[in-house]
Amino acid sequence: MSSPLIESVTEPLARVLALQRQAYAAHPVPTYAQRRADLLTLQRFVREHKDALCAAISADYGHRSRHETLLAEVFPVVDGVDHVLGELRSWMKPQRRSVDWRNFFGARNRVLAQPLGVVGVIVPWNFPLNLSLIPLTYIFAAGNRAMVKMSENSRHLAAYLIAHMPAYFPPEKLQFFDETGGVGVAFSQLKFDHLLFTGSGQTGRAVMAAAARNLCPVTLELGGKAPAIVCDSFPLHTAVERIMFVKLLNAGQICTTVDHAWLPTAKVAEFVTLARAIVAQRYPTLDSSDYTSIIDQRAFDRLLAALAQARARGAEVIPLLNGPAFDAASRKIAPHLVLNAPADCDLMQREIFGPVLPLRSYTDLAEVVAAVNAGPRPLAIYPFSHDAAQVQHLIDHVMSGGVSVNDALFHVGQHDLPFGGVGDSGMGHYHGHEGFETFSKMRPVFYQARWSSLKFLWPPYGKLADRVLSFLIR
């Protein structure tokens, strides 16, 4: 039974859903020109408001590096629209499929990509522009309408989108919603034609359960403990450079960041030395404008508690910057490496989602494969090796949502690769052609010929039917 709070927020949501459904019913299949115009409008919005969008996101974080927002949020949206525009006409073409000429001589089969209708999108706080507008790119490319629910930690950005997006898209096409209390629960209970959720596994289970009551299909982009696996022959300096860049981007608050790193036992100490030098060069002090704050006090406290727990239980906790290990006023935590963390401590059991990198050692890759496979399937794995057979062995034996080889994270940035998890890290895909298909009904259509050979199989059955069936199953 719904609570009074849920009922109070459901009515305005249901009103917008009805408005969008009515608009969909009136114009169920937008033309290529209409879809192209929607995509260009989305791109124009980002270009015209990029400075204000960066400022709003930074305000939500307390401090967010402007360059990181431009690199990880603004550019992928603008560039992604260009990619989709280059592919859209071919994606929209009906697909020809073969016909069994013995049964259906002269008939035709086609698969038509048609809009589903109204798509709901639930957006997390860590990349709120990227994870709202990139899905919209594929939702609009497929000809749909959308309702987007922002995170409670994205108040400044949500207010900005709610205030300015209506000048670009009418509410029957697109509407944003802030989290004012109970909105997320009510939103997930709406009868959408598809629901995309990005966030934690715990919330993802609740969203999926709510959607199941409406038989609403879902795409769940969740998280997990994505490992980097550095093989013995790979140049360690290159691995450290790349791993630490990804790990400290957005202060580690990325679902596809390197959660922890596996290293040959003999290379752990060298990794620490290299990481100290590289991090100090990139972020000379904790108050560097290039270094992002932790999103809120709860997350800040959680990370400090996890570090303290690991230290108390015998782990070696190594801050990588000189000076204070954290600053409470700015909610910044210095980059840390952690050695010998107990297997059952929070850092090893939960997705870290911060600038803390546990290092784990191995003597045989079989140990790594067994350890990763013993846990939930991660959203990504990151093998570092120039040995193609070794890389393929890890890809074959460790299942994950995606893979970046000899780097981390950047499979997500490839516009023509599908993005999605597997098992505990999610289900379904968007990005690329798969994103277009996720938000389309790939509708099979059979066109019978003017003259149907099946008339020979109409009852009453007799000798002719016997001969025809004998021919078909000979």
Whole-angstrom distance, CA of residue 59 vs CA of residue 183: 22
383: helix, strand or coil: strand
Provide the 8-state DSSP code for 453: G
Confirm if 244 and 271 have CB atoms less than 8 A apart. no
Whole-angstrom distance, CA of residue 360 vs CA of residue 270: 13
**Residue linked to tokens 């030395």:** 273
Options 68, 73, 179, 221, the catalytic residue: 221
Q: Give the β-pairing of 440-447 and 227-230.
A: unpaired
SS3 per residue for 278-291: HHHHHCCCCCCCCC
Whole-angstrom distance, CA of residue 388 vs CA of residue 402: 17
**Which of 190, 199, 146 minimizes the C-alpha distance to 2?**
190
Phi, psi of 400 (to 5 degrees): -155, 170
Omega prior to 376 cis, within 30 of 0? no
Options 54, 216, 231, 255, the catalytic residue: 255
Starting from the edge strand earliest in sequence, which strands make up the sheet with 356-362, in order? 316-319, 336-339, 356-362, 260-264, 227-230, 380-384, 402-403
Active site includes 255?
yes
Active site includes 345?
no
Instruction: Give the pair of three-digit tokens for residue 24.
Output: 């969909």
Confirm if 357 and 338 have CB atoms less than 8 A apart. yes
Phi, psi of 445 (to 5 degrees): -130, 125
Q: Say if residue 312 is exposed, middle or buried (CB neighbours under 10 Å; 0-12, 13-18, 19+).
A: exposed
Whole-angstrom distance, CA of residue 246 vs CA of residue 227: 12
**Residue linked to tokens 């000979």:** 474
Catalytic residue IDs = 221, 255
